[in-house]
Structures are given as C-alpha cells and as structure tokens.
Amino acid sequence: MNTPWIEKINLSPDIDFPATSFFIGRIPNLVLPSNRKEAFIKQQPLHRKIIDTLFPSKDRSSKIPLVYADQCHGSNIAIITPPFFETEKREHVDGLMTTHSGVILSITTADCAPVWIIEKKGRAGALIHSGKQGTELGIVPKAIHQMKELFQIDPQDLILTIGPCIRPPCYEIDFAEIIRMQAAEAGIGMVQDEKICTACHLERYYSYRYEQGKTGHMLALLLLHNTATVTSKEKEIF
Ligand SMILES: [Zn+2]
C-alpha cells in the first residue's frame, strides 16, 4: 500500500480547539514528472481524495470547499470570504487567511515552512508559506499585522505553529528560527515548532533541495469549524 504520510498538527494546547489541521507528506512510490507544475497536477487528484477523507462533508453529495494558493515565494496574503467554491485557486499569494468555518485553506511546500497562525479561540486562522524568500519578505509578521488590522486580534492571542521544513545542517539558513524571532518581535502569544527537518526524513517528506528539484509537493491544511461543520464521523476519527 502506498500509504501517504499524514500528520495531524496540534494547533493549540486546548484539546477542544475549534479547528483541524493536517500536513500531508510523501506519497510513497508515486512516480512524479520532473517538471514542478506537472508534478503538482499529477498529485492534485490524489491530494483531493485524501482531503475529502480527512475532512468529510456532512452532506455526502458535496465536498467542503477548498482554497489553494498559486504560490510565488512572495508575501501577499489573500483574505478568504464567501462565496466558497468546491475548489478555488488564488493567484500570486503565499498566505491564506480567514475567519470563516467551512472552508479548507491549503498551502503547498517542499522544504519551505508551513506556518499556521490561529487565534486562541479559533476566531481566525492563517496558513502561510514561508521559505527563504518569504521569510526575508516578512510574510509571517505581515500576517500577524493583518490579523490585528482587519480582525482586531491582539497578537498576544495568537498561537503560531511551524511545521516540517528544511533546517540546518541540511540547509544553511535557519528560516524556522528567523520566523520564530519575527513572531516574537510582532508580539505573538505562543510559538510552537515541531523542529522536524524535511531533508532528514525523506521517507515521510519531500525535499526540493535534497532531491534536487525532482520532488513532489506536500500540503498543509487548515479548517476552522464550529459545531455545524463537525460531523459525527470526524469526531470519531479525532
Ligand atoms: Zn535535516
């Protein structure tokens, strides 16, 4: 069985925290084209199948809407508001932010850091792609600032989680550490870091650098929810 690597991300110390998050890693034995766009297209239907299993819709005939970012290692962040569609692409953004439940945010990575920023009660959440360039551009502090400006969220009420990404000694720049410092400077309440290096665990992750570009995409996912969007099946699983 080519069981993909899937990990549940603990966003908050509160076990009843009203959001769900996953990171989908390597899909073993999946032969991918060397072209990055083609690899993405090949993985997309597989990813969607996994997402639908992880986030089952209450209504079997429909899927929970999904937004993904057409990333460019920049610092633009899209604010996701209704109407929602089954699948929606946002062009030229490296961050997605919402206050709405019922829409899955999705970011792809392959060494860069997936960063979840959530309000401690689940009122708002953001998913950020911050690699070398995004970190240099300060996309994470920008997201914290936007949450404050747009939704009046005190940075003290935010919890930031850094997922699997490439780290020293596999990479010369410790951008996870830089993100942590940027978040602290922005006044964030709590930072969690799994401290997992993608290049050190190729059985679980793809590493763009270690595999010299001939690699797949991993998916970071975030769904804020209220009781209306949590199905009984989902409750059983988690
Ligand atoms: Zn490593």
Closest CA to 127 of 114, 137, 112: 114
Q: Cβ neighbours of residue 160 under 8 Å, at least 6 residues apart?
A: 115, 116, 117, 140, 179, 183, 188, 190, 191, 192
Q: What's the 130 CA to ligand 1 centre distance in angstroms?
A: 17
Sorted by where each begins, the domain ranges of the chain are 6-229
Q: What's the 18 CA to ligand 1 centre distance in angstroms?
A: 32
Q: What's the 41 CA to ligand 1 centre distance in angstroms?
A: 27
Full-model pTM:
0.92
Please provide the CATH number assigned to the domain covering 6-229.
3.60.140.10
Q: What's the 201 CA to ligand 1 centre distance in angstroms?
A: 7
How far apart CA 95 and CA 134 sit, in angstroms, is: 10
Q: What's the 116 CA to ligand 1 centre distance in angstroms?
A: 21
Q: What's the 50 CA to ligand 1 centre distance in angstroms?
A: 26
At residue 237 the predicted structure's pLDDT band, cuts being 50, 70 and 90, is very low
Q: pLDDT of 69-112, one tens digit each?
A: 999 999 999 999 999 999 999 999 999 999 999 899 999 999 99
Q: pLDDT of 116-142, one tens digit each?
A: 999 999 999 999 999 999 999 999 999
